[in-house]
Chain A
Amino acid sequence: MSVTRATLIKDLRLEWRSKDAINSMLFFSLLVVVVFSFSFDPIAEESRRIAGGLIWVAFLFASVVALNQTWARELRNQVLDAYRVSPAPANSLFIAKALGNFIFVCVLEAVMAPLFVVFYNLRALGPAYQLLIVAPLGTWALVVNGTFFAALSIRTRAREIMLPLLLFPISIPAILGMVSATTAILSGENSARFYIVLLAVYDVVFTIACLALFETILHAE
């Protein structure tokens, strides 16, 4: 536990100091929102229907940019070797990295969501409080697998493209859940409850899978 906490604090501190990743990601997110607002006319009534999908696609692309640099600092100067040589448990590193990414992507979402509301004149016709449940569940679904696949991609040649290649197919149920839940809440037409359960199940299943297999991945050569 102390290893997890120490790693998380170290990552947050390092990111706070340099702010490279967060700045470029915030700007990228803004660009994505603007591009979408040109591509999909915000005035039309359809916008409320597709806003649920749009916002999560924007989050997805922004989080891939974040996830790709998960292990960048550890690969410089081979710091990962120092970790592998130490008795620290692999899962502590994983949880710390996943939580760090989670915080990161939540910050991005907190910036992008109001922009979407503004550009698309969004109003939630359904129970808006449910969005506060859907967002973390959906974000964790992307982040937990993303952190794991980022570690897998380290051992491949085309590292940056490998991550989305692996992540997107596996995330399809989660994406469907997030988008449908958000659309249901915004349009007020359906209940988002099933999708919330789906996201929760997805999160549990894949968190367990990641924790079970991360040690194997880290300590392979």
Chain B
Amino acid sequence: MNSGATHSSPIVVVTDLIKQFGRFAALRGVTAEFAAGKMYGILGDNGAGKTTLLRTMAGLNHPTHGTVAILGQTKLREVCGMIGYMAHPSLLYDEMSGMENLRYFGQLYGIGDEESCRSAIRAVALDPDLERPVGQYSQGMRQRMSLARALLNDPKILLLDEPFSNVDLRSAREMVALLAKMRDAGKTIFVVTHQASLLEGAADEFVWMEAGRIVSRTQTFEQVTSETSGAGR
């Protein structure tokens, strides 16, 4: 099941993770190990628990039962400096320009220099000198700037929730190429998306979730499509 992680310990270990919101169980006992330096596509229908899983890994939700260990640490506050998180809302201030946003968020991570901010913006193919406030960006530009914010602290682990939604195809493909480059550089990347086809060829593993559990993990997208069409009831 877990390919090629025999030489090092897994970077993320989820043990019997249960998350309940009142009566509704978003996660019903997720157990998995994820190796470092790979890109994982987390797929599934709405309500499958993908976003909840990602948010729990980011430390935004607290598990009802079970644990999430990142870099061997269950107290996620200790390792949060090494995690980058991106969600569907942009997590940026609409009234500030891209550089101003990144300069501020850099301060939260103790990053004081201009060059880190500029290179993060350049990495997502945007112009650091653009004075326009982020609120006036197109959706695709905003998603990319949000990704730049997630990359600012050069995190070991990237948690991306629907990074390609409302993004045009060409920009989305460029983002995937960028993520693949980062994965090759050693980052571990988790991408929650509805558009699994975008990750074709780039992701190392596809994790399929249904009703709060992981139902299968496959190497290729074809296997995913065959599973879903075969398992359809």
Decide if B90 is an interface residue (CB 8 Å cutoff): yes
Best-buried of A3, A79, A86 by chain B (most CB within 10 Å): A86
**Which residues of chain B from 41 to 97 have a CB within 8 Å of any chain A CB?**
58-62, 77, 80-81, 83, 85, 87, 89-96
Query: Which of A6, A87, A220, A221 is in CB contact (< 8 Å) with B81?
Result: A87
How large, as a class, is the contact surface on chain A? 20 to 34
**Interface 9-mer from A10-18, A150-158, A193-201:** A10-18
- Contact residues in B for A83 (Cβ distance below 8 Å): 108
CB distance from A15 to the nearest CB of B (A): 10
Do residues A87 and B108 form an inter-chain contact, with CB atoms below 8 A?
yes
Is B104 a contact of A81 with CB atoms below 8 Å? no
Contact across chains for B90 and A2 when beta carbons are under 8 A apart: no
A18 to B96 Cα, complex, angstroms: 11
Residues of chain B with a CB closer than 8 A to A221's CB: 60-62
Set A3, A77, A219: member contacting B90, Cβ < 8 A: A77
CB neighbours (8 Å) of B58 from chain A are: 85
- Interface contact B105-A86, CB-CB below 8 Å: yes
CB distance from B139 to the nearest CB of A (A): 13
A82 at the interface (CB under 8 A from B): yes
Asked whether, in the complex, the Cβ of A14 is within 8 Å of the Cβ of B95, the reply is yes
Which residues in B have some Cβ–Cβ distance to A below 8 Å? 58-62, 77, 80-81, 83, 85, 87, 89-96, 100, 104-105, 107-110, 112, 149, 153
Question: Measuring CB to CB, which residues of chain A are less than 8 angstroms from any residue of chain B?
Answer: 2-3, 6-7, 10, 14, 17-18, 73, 76-79, 81-88, 219-221
